Amino acid sequence: MNRPLLIGPFTQLLPMTGLPLKGALKDEQLAVIENGGILVSEGKILKVGVFDELKSDDVDIHHIEGQQVCLPGFVDSHTHICFGGTRARDYAYRNAGKTYLEIAKAGGGIWDTVTQTRKASQEELVKGIVSRSKKHLKNGITTIEVKSGYGLSVDEELKMLRAIKRANKTTNASLVPTCLAAHMKPKDWSEDNDYLDTIINELFPIIKTENLANRVDAFVEESAFSPEEIKPYFQKAKEMGFDITVHADQFTTGGSQVAVDFDAVSADHLEASTEKEIRLLAKSNTIATALPGASIGLGCAYTPARKILDAGGALSIASDHNPGSAPMGDLLTQASILGTFEKLSNTEVLAGITSRAAAALRLSDRGKLEEGAQADFVVFPTDNYQEITYHQGQLKPHMVWKKGKHIH
């Protein structure tokens, strides 16, 4: 067994511990350890504290030079980084004033990505996931949720989920797969067969057998699946042991009610949520996930993050990195901008991409720097953590550590 490794000292170390999962957070609640250090062994954290107090003859030391701020590795709890092709034309059309229906009629929209993803080989999808994961890692994101949903058939969804599993063995990031076969109704599906029943009966068993995902998502929206259509689907998914998450209230309401009814881990988007939905989510165990990248990409309102927090809800912030509505894929930039528009404290923003984001994936071993957690952390070249959101994503990490290894 190797000797424990002490990493530090950090000018400021933010363990993100001691914060409640739900409700508003003040910056006065944020623990900041001056001249902090992290003691790690075999990829896990043994202890966090003042660097000089952790030093002993029994540990090796990785000395950190200069002024540095250390936080837990960021967690992006909602992405679509498994896809083929591009939707640059859609973006140009949208900014030129064309509607969603006009773009779809011109060959754009989600179905365009479905077509391009179906044309891509599994090898090409793996390459794309790994490339995008590397970009996220450089920006401090050490855990990335990745959805299927651009296959929309049993075989094509399997291709995507298998590609995510293969990519997870190649990239240094941790990838968390989610089955989003219920992304929209396939245009090429026969009306004689029930698409959702086919996914339940043919796809779900293979996902279980091959251990391709533990999570099932669906887009509950007028343009996709209604609450009535999706309830039997989620019921069966729960019976089979899948965690539930929901694309909810993006353009119209209804999805958040479904999320709460099925005790979903998270309800994501929520740009259309009203006071009714906000109260509903706040009283539940479902985590609200804001996706500011989609608001920026579509030019629409942001998730009512301030109201959700003030009502007592839990708020995660994710990038929604996808080729259509959220192509930027820069979590810290998006979270910082959301903080500006929604008046979020630094603690609320940082918790939203660390501890609360990890909870949105039911991952208790990351998002915080504490004993027993994975030694995933990110280091910024500054002496003041406030500079991180102040620069709105333009202050880049100086170092990224994953499971106790310096990977960037």
In order of their start, the domains of the chain are 5-73+369-406 (2.30.40.10), 75-359 (3.20.20.140)
Tell me how far CA of residue 68 lies from CA of 44, 64, 161, 170, in angstroms: 21, 8, 38, 29
Low-confidence ranges of the chain (pLDDT < 50): none
Tell me the whole-structure pTM to 2 decimals.
Answer: 0.97
Per-residue model confidence (pLDDT) at position 1:
64
CA angle 42, 352, 78 (to 5 degrees): 80
Cα distance between residue 386 and residue 390, in whole Å: 6
Identify whether the C-beta of residue 49 lies closer than 8 Å to the C-beta of residue 369: no
Strand ranges (E), 22-72: 33-41, 44-50, 60-63, 69-72
Nearest to 214 by CA among 249, 247, 240: 240
Contact (CB, 8 A) for 184 and 223: yes
Contact call for residues 396 and 138 (beta carbons, < 8 A) = yes
What letter represents residue 18's amino acid? G
Q: Is 406 helix (H, G, I), strand (E, B) or coil?
A: strand
